[in-house]
Structure 1
Amino acid sequence: MTPPVKSPGAVALGPARDLLWSAVGAGDEHRAATVVLDALETTADAETVLLDLIAPVQAKVGAEWAANRLTVAQEHTATAIHERVIAVLAHRPECRGGTPDGPRVTVACVDGEWHALPARLLAEVLRLRGWRVDFLGSHVPTPHLIAHLHQTGPRAVALSSSIPTHLPTAHTAVTACQAAGVPVIAGGAAFGPDGRYARALGADGWAPDARSAAAVLARGLDRPGPPGVDRGLDDLPHLADQEYTIVAATTHQLVKQTLADLEDRFEPLRGYTERQRRHTAEDLAHIVEYLATSLYVADEDLFTRFILWTADILTARGVPARGLDPALDLLALQLKDFPRACHTLARAREALGHRTPPPKTPGPGKPA
């Protein structure tokens, strides 16, 4: 991935990042706002504060949750504080951007995507650069997005998604926007480390961060052709084999059977509490969803990366990651008539066999 572009003032924000991290970790919204506003006075550059202060601290929030050093509640609290602090920043007189006659752009998260902070950061950066921004927030159903486009006629749509399992929905949104005559730039972790899934789904542009997205939009995206022309039908010809469709449609059955069979293969499961079994079923459901998404975009690496990430998450939480291998084998037995699925599962099992577990870390609130 291309590293995010930083402004000259970013280096000077190191102490402010430490202070902001301390504030959001303590759930102290007022102290967090003070840190951000003080940084604004120091740098006199709202974009730098947004992208080189708030954004990296939010990224650390996610990393600390993954390492089991923050609870879900602490992660949600930190994110909520950042959202409110951004709102405070946006209403400062020196931070009000956009003009009534500026180019119009719609920024939205795809249907099902609740992680709206990256899209919000982009929306604020575009406002600062003179765009007239319609920020629709998280979880925007595609029909409502298209209705908005018909009503407002923006120059482009910026679609955000952080979770790869939303890629099929993102594909629907991309092709629907293009059919309405509006080009699409995609962004967010869901679209791959180098934007490969944005290209696979036929997006008109991709950017790894907000500054790069603003630059792409400033250069302009070509309109996708006359309204009503759907360019997405031939983007993914491999879907003709129906493997994605069948795996997605039978997720519940696959999870139920795998959980039942896993008791014979993975002895610790027999002693699990009802709560632990429920979490195991949820993990299996995520595995099947990522398998289906991998089949949708025809990229085995997507699934392998998720399995290795899941192994690290389980290890950080003191759950035996060795249960993943028999679970993948049991899924392969159920999907023995689906060659792409079986090959994807085999690749992931091979990667698990060569995995080096991360060092154990203390849980939330525990001393190192």
Structure 2
Amino acid sequence: MSETRIPEAARARFDACLADADEDAAVELAVGLVTGGVSAEDVLLRLVAPAQVRVGERWESGEWTVSREHAATHVSRKTVDAVAAAAAARVPGGAGSRGHVLVACSDGEWHVLPAQILTEVLRLHGFDVQLLGGSVSPQGILSDVHQHGPDVVALSCTLPWNLPLAHRQIEICRWAGVPVVTGGAGFGPGGTWAYALGADLYAADARAAADALMRHWPPVLRGESSVEAEAVEAYAMLVRQRPELLEHMATALREVHPGPDTGYVSGTEHEEGTGVLGRLLDSLAAAVYVDDERVFTRHLAFVRTYLSARSADSRFLIVMADTLADRLKGSPRALDKLSAGRRFLAGREEDDSGGPG
């Protein structure tokens, strides 16, 4: 499918629509591009998707509140629906005949827009696609696989701490003999963590997924999990100890930032700040599960940026790493990832202070 250029003026107008949460104007703009000759796929991948990336960047930088980000995302999802309807009206017909694809978000994953865009792009390429939505449980995947008999399951994951949950979904699909194609930043650079979990294919975006499935149809089972039993045991231990570990982290944080308003929440909305400690622990657990320190260090990098943009003190992250290390002395795998995280944080502290050179 040939690419068509989205005018810069249209990109700017669409960004403004998201900023104002103007659903009607956003839909009118996007549908107007489709009726004017721009392919629906390009509207989805070159207008809506990049604009949504900028929405996330504005939230991360502190420019937008989480409520404003949610409103903009709602407009993006409505726009995808409208573009899909406009494309169907221009090329009427029934369900695709290339094959049946089941699209789902990993368990715990509520960022549905990437999966929604993938669904519509695959339909444009002639696939029969069913979207299950956000945070699909392994039981839900199994039920739909048995009920609908898809040729392939497409799994989306944006947040790496959901990797252990995604592994259960992948395993269930493989037990049922159904190949799994994966996508999303949560699966790591080049899909390295998707392949570690046993996925059969990773695609960087919806167009790449469609192209790969069209080239290699019917898909075949070729993935193999490299997750070790010892890693699963270490992960399970962290899950069991999660309430206790969170309490110790909160206690250590109050010692560093005494008072009713803890430092990691200062300068942030309560909804955004209260999950920081839990996500730190979840990222550590996921790093242990796939045996890759980058799951943890990348999350630390995000938290530093997130807190700095809100004028909140991120130095407590080293305190948290030390607190966890003190409590997890019996877990070499967790200590290894914590040590990597502390080295990362110490290096960044040196960079910020200008030394040592």
TM-score between the two structures when normalised by the length of structure 2? 0.89
CA distance in 2, matches of 1:87, 1:271: 47
Distance in 2, Cα, partners of 1:136 & 1:166: 17
Query: C-alpha displacement at 1:240, in angstroms?
Result: 5.4
- Equivalent position amino acid for 1:224 in 2: L
2:4 paired residue among 1, 5, 9: 9
Aligned to 2:71: 77
Q: Are 2:146 and 1:150 aligned?
A: yes
Aligned position for 2:15: 21
Deviation at 1:214, TM superposition (A): 0.5
- Indicate the SS of the match to 2:258: helix
Offset at residue 270 of structure 1 (A): 0.4
What is the rounded CA distance, in whole Å, between the counterparts of 1:273 and 1:224 in structure 2? 52
- The answer to whether the aligner puts 1:239 opposite 2:230 as a matched pair is yes
User: Shift of the alpha carbon at 1:206?
Assistant: 0.6
CA contact (8 A) 1:46 1:95 kept: no
Distance in 2, matches of 1:165 and 1:68, equals: 22
Deviation digits for residues 283-333 of structure 1, max 9, x if unmatched?
Answer: 211111110000000001110110111011011111101111111111111
Looking at structure 2, the residues matched to 51 and 15 of structure 1 have their Cα atoms a distance apart, in angstroms, of 17
Structure 1: tracts of 5 or more residues without a match: 1-5, 226-230, 358-368
CA shift in 2, pair 1:280/1:125, >3 Å: closer
Q: Is the aligned partner of 1:55 residue 2:49? A: yes
Q: Secondary structure at the match of 2:158?
A: coil
The aligned residue for residue 220 of structure 1 is: 217
What residue in structure 1 maps to residue 207 of structure 2?
211
Structure 1 residues 158 and 344: alpha-carbon distance in aligned structure 2, compared to 1, 3 A threshold: same
Higher mean C-alpha displacement, 269-278 vs 322-331? 269-278
Matches of 1:314 and 1:95 in 2, distance apart?
Answer: 48
Give the corresponding residue for 2:102: 106
Deviates more, 1:277-286 or 1:86-95: 277-286
Please point out which of 167, 186, 189 is paired with 1:193. Answer: 189
Does the CA-based 8 Å contact 1:165-1:290 persist in structure 2? yes
Matches of 2:19 and 2:90 in 1, distance apart? 28
| Cα distance in 2, alignment partners of residues 97 and 193 from structure 1 | 38
Secondary structure at the aligned position of 1:273 is classed as coil
Higher relative contact order (CA 8 A, sep 6+): 1
Q: Tell whether 2:299 aligns with 1:306.
A: yes
SS of the aligned residue for 1:271 comes to coil
CA offsets, 1:101-122, max 9 Å, x none? 4411111112221111001101
Which residue is 1:360 aligned to? none
Identity of aligned residues (%): 35
2: CA distance, partners of 1:280 / 1:156: 38
Q: Which stretch shifts more, 163-172 or 86-95?
A: 86-95
In 2, Cα distance between equivalents of 1:271 and 1:201: 43
CA-to-partner distance for each residue in 1:13-66, whole Å, 9 max, x for gaps? 322111100011011111111211222234431101010000000110011100
Partner of residue 62 from structure 2, selected from 43, 68, 75:
68
> What is the rounded CA distance, in whole Å, between the counterparts of 2:91 and 2:82 in structure 1?
10
Q: Which residue of 2 aligns with 1:365?
A: none
Query: Any conservation in 1 of the 2:96–2:128 contact (CA below 8 Å)?
Result: yes
CA–CA distance in structure 1, aligned partners of residues 95 and 275 of structure 2: 47
Question: Is the alpha carbon distance of 1:284 and 1:100 closer, same or farther for their aligned partners in structure 2, counting shifts above 3 Å?
Answer: closer
2:253·2:262 contact (CA, 8 Å) conserved in 1?
Answer: no
Q: Aligned partners of 2:232 and 2:226: how far apart in 1? A: 14
Whether the 8 Å contact between 2:21 and 2:72 is mirrored in structure 1 is: yes
Give 1:220 deviation, angstroms: 2.6
CA contact (8 A) 2:254 2:262 kept: no
CA gap 1:239/1:156 in 2 versus in 1, 3 angstroms = same
CA distance in 1, matches of 2:310, 2:83: 36
CA contact (8 A) 1:89 1:95 kept: no
For the structure 1 residues 102 and 331, does the alpha-carbon distance in structure 2 shift closer, same or farther, using more than 3 Å as the test?
Answer: same
Q: Are the aligned partners of 1:185 and 1:205 in contact in 2 as well (CA < 8 Å)? A: yes
SS of the residue corresponding to residue 195 of structure 1 reads helix
